[in-house]
Structure 1
């Protein structure tokens, strides 16, 4: 199968399209013929090794020290089930699905594998694959953080970095919960975030959102510049600071500060589930969650996709269109991975 492969850390030019072995299939696995994935901020960090302060050693353990541990990037996929393991009963070949591969990566390829009990759900019936995949990375991340805020109708939420993949999802989900949303982004993206449900927009280029008055029940920081020291005065008692981007000091201090201050501070979205993804699908089918797609590239143009993401100015999601050359045929059996007990 074809895949976008990188064999060393660095810039967009480190990625190239190569032929690689198709994933094998275990008893509990679902093999997806991928139609679309996204090139996300997580792909940028993994490829470039540019991570928040203090996370270099953790990054080395997760993505590799001297060379990539997983050579195919892509944390999400939308596609068609090509084959299932013998113990899989929830999905069948031909099902149209979306899935979050997470830290296992592998989405920038013609086929991807996920366990059937992972974050996989049937695709929204009213969305094309290229739009459906935009629900996954940003939607699950925003959902995981906002769930911890315990939002009630009428809550006030500030989303810092509201025009990115996670930010556009956070605006929509907060609005779905009945919150009043303040979006921080450039003025060029004012119309976009307003159309998604933002009640107020702060242009970060002309106004410091942290200089505003107190009154937020939750602050979602998708940028990495809303430290607790900078924004604590903005939070109401019991309010939540949701740090989507955080350095090591912030991660270590979060549980201590949560106990001492009465504010809920978290740097972890939690592990997404198929149920979480199905919830987003239901919202999309009801018209309550929109796909936000900035640009779409073919797999052959994966370098250009990475180059655009590296600018840091994408609106919503950058989609990578991937189409397998041919379906799995009877003359090309799926290899079964041998599982060993540990």
Structure 2
């Protein structure tokens, strides 16, 4: 099969295309013919090896796994021993964090992992970006416990995680204020359409403090808002969480004492370690099927344009997700 590979860490130019052996499913796995994939922050970090923690995960001094790609949609070609939830011909989408391989014509995934049937009304390009952002966004809801009647502020609301987070919060009955660096060109009502009650556009000159205060949670979806900056926005006892480790991994250090400060009724830091399997995948698929969560797509590239897709994501200006179509013939 044809795959995009990288044998060294680096920029988009580290990616090459080559023929590699077709994968075969082990017990408990399914073999998927990939129709669409995405390029996201996770993929870019694995490709570049930055920050340093990614080299701990991916290998030192060079990558252990050559084929990149963590998010996909396609059709089941075969199933391994013991798999009963899926059959050849089923349309599926999913996310394989920590075990890349989706930037290829085929990949194997665990049947009980972040894998779900594609909702009937969606095509692969629409479903492919549904799991990565939703998976990380759900971690924010789980760790903070925000729910119906609460108020939350989402900083970095136009990325894949941010757009998913606004929608999942809205679906849970949370009042959402969405903060972004710039309202997407040609899509001025995007964040309101996704469920935000209020939008703060920092790019237009608005200041973060114009969002007000008294929030139950401030959620940093891009790693660009520190706890120090978020603290004045929180009510006493409110929580801050970020998708990023922060400078010097400070968010992990602050989260380590979070349970103590939380019990004292103080503003505190929580870290949204993501985890989930088939149950979370089914939940996200159900939200997508019901129209309560729809992945936002910025641009779509062909497979041969994968380096260009990486370069665009590296630029840090994408809105939602970047989709890559994989030829099926």
**Into which bin does the TM-score normalised by the smaller protein fall?**
over 0.9
TM-score by length of structure 1 reads 0.89
Q: How does 1:327-338 map to 2 (within 5 A)?
A: none
Are residue 241 (structure 1) and residue 227 (structure 2) matched?
no
In the alignment, what sits opposite 1:73?
Answer: 68
Structure 2's unaligned 5+ residue stretches are none
**C-alpha RMSD of the superposition:** 1.6
Residues 19-74 of structure 1: CA deviation (Å, up to 9, x unaligned): 111223211111111111110011111112232xxxx2x32220122211221111
Count of residue pairs the alignment pairs up: 320
TM-score (norm 2): 0.92
**Secondary structure in 1 matching 2:138:** helix
The answer as to 2:302 corresponding to 1:307 is no
8 Å Cα contact 2:261/2:268 also seen in 1:
no
CA contact (8 A) 1:101 1:114 kept: yes
Question: How far apart in 1 are the matches of 2:268 and 2:277?
Answer: 23
Compute the displacement of 1:210 (Å). Answer: 4.9
Aligned-partner Cα distance in 1 for 2:210–2:319: 25
Q: Pairwise mapping of residues 1-342 of structure 1 onto structure 2 (< 5 A)?
A: 1-51=1-51, 56=52, 58-189=53-184, 190-205=188-203, 206-210=205-209, 212-247=211-246, 248-261=249-262, 262=265, 263=267, 265-325=269-329
Deviation at 1:289, TM superposition (A): 1.1
Name the CA distance, whole Å, in 2 between partners of 1:313 and 1:143.
23
Q: Check whether the contact 1:155–1:179 (CA below 8 A) recurs between aligned residues.
A: yes
Q: Which protein has greater RCO, CA pairs closer than 8 Å, 6+ apart?
A: 1
State the distance in 1 between where 2:211 and 2:295 align.
31
**How far 1:268 moved relative to its partner?**
3.0
Q: For the Cα contact (< 8 Å) 1:159–1:222, is it kept in 2?
A: yes
Larger deviation, residues 245-254 vs 9-18: 245-254
- Structure 1, gaps ≥5 residues long: 326-342
